[in-house]
Chains A and B, each alone.
Chain A
Amino acid sequence: MTETVIKTDKLTKRFGDFIATNGITFEVHKGEIFGFLGANGAGKTTAMRMLCGLSKPSSGSAQVAGFDVYKQTEQIKRNIGYMSQKFSLYEDLTVVENIRFFGGIYGLSNADIKTKSESLLAQLGMESEAKKLVGSLPLGWKQKLSFSVAVLHRPKIVFLDEPTGGVDPVTRRQFWNLIYAAAQDGITIFVTTHYMDEAEYCNRISIMVDGKIEALDTPRALKQRYNTTTMDDVFYQLARGAKRSE
C-alpha cells in the first residue's frame, strides 16, 4: 500500500497567452525519488513553484502532503523543504550562521539546531569549514550544504530544482548519496535535472515537453517502451519535437 504525498490533476499555469505548464497530472508516492525531467523552458520550475505555494495555479488542482495548493499553502510550507534553482544560502554569512538561521525560521529549538548542525557538518565532512563564509566555498560544497539545510527540519517532501547544475561528476555522486540517505529517512524527493545519468538514480521519472508530461514511469520501463538502452535516447526521442528552447 503506497501512500500518495503529491497528487496533481490538470495543473496549469498561464502567463498571459503563454501556457508554461499545461494540464499536468501525476502522483508521487511517499519515500520515493521522483525525477522531474524536461528540456530548458519545459515548465519544470513553474510546476514546482505551484506545488510549493510560491505561485497560484491558473487551473487544475493539486495536493501536497495532503494539503490544497490554493487554500492551504501555510500547512504545505510547514511540510516541505525547497532548494531553488538559484543558489540560495547567504554568501556573506558563515556555514554555521546559515544553518542556525534556517533552523531558526523553521522554529527548531536552539538545542535541536545545535545537535543537527553538528551531525550535518560531520556528514558533509565540513567541520573545519563551519566558521567560513559560505561565499568562499566551492560550488559543489555549497550545493551539498544547501540540500542539507533544506532537509534540516525533516520535511515530508523536499523539492530540488536542478540541484547539481554545473557541479562536477564526483560531487554529483556525493550529492546523490545525500539524496539517498534522505530518502532512506522517509523524505520524499522531488527533483529536476538535466543530467540523464541522474535520471537513472530515480525511482520514477516524468518527462515534460513544452509544458506537458509526455511520459511517466520507472527508468527501466521507459527504456523498454522506447526500445533503447539509455535514458539519453528516451529523452531525445521525446524532446526532439519540442518547440521551446532557450
Chain B
Amino acid sequence: MKQFLTFVRKEFAHVLRDRKTLLILFGMPVVQILIFGFALTSEVKNSRVLIVDNANDAASQQLLTKIEASQYFEVDRSVMSPLQMEAAFREGEIKMAIVFPANFNEDLLHQNQAHVQIVTDASDPNTATSLTNYVSSIIQDYQASLNQTLSVPLRILPETRFIYNPQLKGVYNYVPGVMALVLMLVCVMMTAVSIVREKETGTMEVLLVSPFKPVLVILSKAVPYLILSLVNVGTILLMSIFVLDLPVAGNLLLLLAESTLFIITCLTLGIFISIKTSSQQVAMLISLMGMLLPTMLFSGFMFPIENMPVPLQIISNIVPSKWYYLIVKAVMIKGLGFSAIWKETLILAGMTLFLFVISLKNFKIRLA
C-alpha cells in the first residue's frame, strides 16, 4: 500500500509539474462552457423585438413603456399583418414579436384577464428562452404592480409560441456535451499518453523489473486523472449553475455517481489504448480520432442522431459518450431519477467491464 501511495504521489508530481498541460486541463472546461454559452446567448442584447399594439389603450401603453425601458433589446413599434410578420422573422429582421389584442384593456377590466402573444424565433433556442423569460418577467412585474391596488387580482396571460424550433432542441444541451467531451479528453488521452510515455522513455522497463506489481503501475496512473476529472465535473456544474443559471434539476449525487462511472469507463479506455500502442503520438492520435471525434459526432450534442443515416445511428451506440450524454441530459436538465437511466447506466457499466477485461488480458500477454 505504501508503494502504491509512493507511486500515486509521483504521478501527481508529473501532472502538477507540467503547468501548461495543467492549465489546459483545468481551463478547458471553463473556456468551453463560456464559448458555447456566449456563442448562444450574446445575441440577446441586440435582438430586435417587434411590438404590434392592436389595442393602443392605457394598459398596453403602460406595459410597452416598461418593455421599451429595457436596455436588452431594440424595440420597434409597428402595425403588421401576420404575413408581414412572418416575412420579417424569415429575413431575420426580428427575433421576437409581442402582439397585443385589440381589446387588451377591456379584457383586463371586464374579464380580469387578458392575453399577450409572444412569438419567438427559436432557431437559436438559447436566445429564444432568454428573451421569452425576460419579457415574461417584465409582464409579471407589471401585473404585480397593477394588483397592488386592486382587491380582485388581474391576470395577464402571455401566450408564448416558438417558431422554427418549437421543442427548443439544443438548449443547454451543450453542457452535458461539454462534460462528456472534457472527461473523454482528460481521462482517455491523458491516461493513455502518460502510460505510453513511460514505455517510450524506457522507465516502464525499470518499473517492470522492480517488485512493484505491473497492474498497480497502471492503476496508480489512473488515480490523478480520476481526481482531476472530478474537479472538472465540479467546475462545469458550478459554472452551469452560477454562470448559465442552469441548476441541476435532478439528484446531484446521482449525477456525480454517473459521472464517476463514465470517468472510469474513460480511464479504462485510456489504459486499453496505452497497452495497444507504444508511442505517445500514436496514443494521442488514437485518442483524438478514435474517441474525441466520435464524441462530438455521435453523442448527439452537436448533430441530432435521429437525423443520421441508419448505419451511423447504429455506430453511435458503441460510443460511450452517447450514453453518458443521455444520462446527464436526463438527470441534469430533465430532472429524471435513476429509473429513467438505468438502461444507459447498465450499458456504460458493461462497456467498462468489457474494456477492463480485455485490457487485463492484453496486459498479461505483453509481460510474457
Contacts and interface: CB of A to CB of B under 8 A. Distances in A.
B243 interface: no
B206 interface: yes
Interface of B: 2-3, 6-7, 9-10, 13-14, 17-18, 201-203, 205-212, 368
| SS of A interface (majority) | loop
Contact of B2 (A86, A100, A104): A104
Given A92-B17, A93-B13, A107-B3, A84 B205 contact: yes
Contact of B211 (A54, A74, A83, A100): A74
Contacts of A92: 13-14, 17-18
A105 B3 contact: yes
Interface string A147-172: 00000000000000000000000000
A231 B75 CA distance: 96
A105 B17 contact: no
A87 to B, nearest CB: 7
Given A84-B202, A84-B205, A86-B201, A77 B13 contact: no
A78 interface: yes
A232 B313 CA distance: 69
Contacts of B211: 74, 77-78, 105-107
B202 A80 contact: no
B209 A52 contact: yes
Contact of B209 (A53, A85, A90): A53
A101 interface: yes
A183 to B, nearest CB: 20
A246 B196 CA distance: 26
A64 to B, nearest CB: 11
Contacts of B14: 90, 92-93
Contacts of A101: 6-7, 9-10
Nearest to A92: B17
A89 interface: yes
Interface of A: 52-54, 56, 74, 77-78, 80, 82-93, 97, 100-102, 104-107
Nearest to B203: A88
Contacts of B207: 105
A82 B210 CA distance: 8
Given A92-B14, A92-B17, A86 B202 contact: yes
The 9 lowest CB-CB distance pairs between A and B, nearest first, are A104-B6, A86-B202, A82-B209, A88-B202, A105-B212, A88-B206, A77-B211, A101-B10, A88-B203
Contacts of B203: 88-90
A106 to B, nearest CB: 6
A97 B209 contact: no
B3 A54 contact: no
Contacts of B208: 54
A101 B6 CA distance: 6
Listed residue (A77, A91, A102, A105) with the most chain B CB atoms within 10 angstroms of its CB: A105
A92 B203 CA distance: 12
B2 A107 contact: yes
Listed residue (B6, B206, B207) with the most chain A CB atoms within 10 angstroms of its CB: B206
Nearest to A110: B2
B206 A82 contact: yes
A64 B275 CA distance: 28
Nearest to B368: A56
Nearest to A89: B203
A88 B201 contact: yes
A93 B202 contact: no
Contacts of A78: 211
Nearest to A113: B6
A80 B7 CA distance: 20
Contacts of A89: 203
A88 B205 CA distance: 8
B177 to A, nearest CB: 33
A105 B209 contact: no
Nearest to B14: A92
B4 to A, nearest CB: 9
B308 to A, nearest CB: 43
A7 B163 CA distance: 84
A83 B202 CA distance: 10
Listed residue (B13, B18, B207) with the most chain A CB atoms within 10 angstroms of its CB: B13
7 contacts: A84-B206, A88-B202, A90-B14, A93-B13, A101-B10, A104-B3, A107-B3
A56 B203 CA distance: 20
Nearest to A78: B211
A205 B208 CA distance: 27
B120 to A, nearest CB: 54
Contacts of A97: 10, 13
B17 A93 contact: yes
Contacts of A54: 205, 208-209
A106 B206 contact: no
A87 B202 CA distance: 7
A54 B367 CA distance: 7
Contacts of B368: 56
B302 to A, nearest CB: 36
A13 to B, nearest CB: 12
A50 B7 CA distance: 26
A246 B267 CA distance: 39
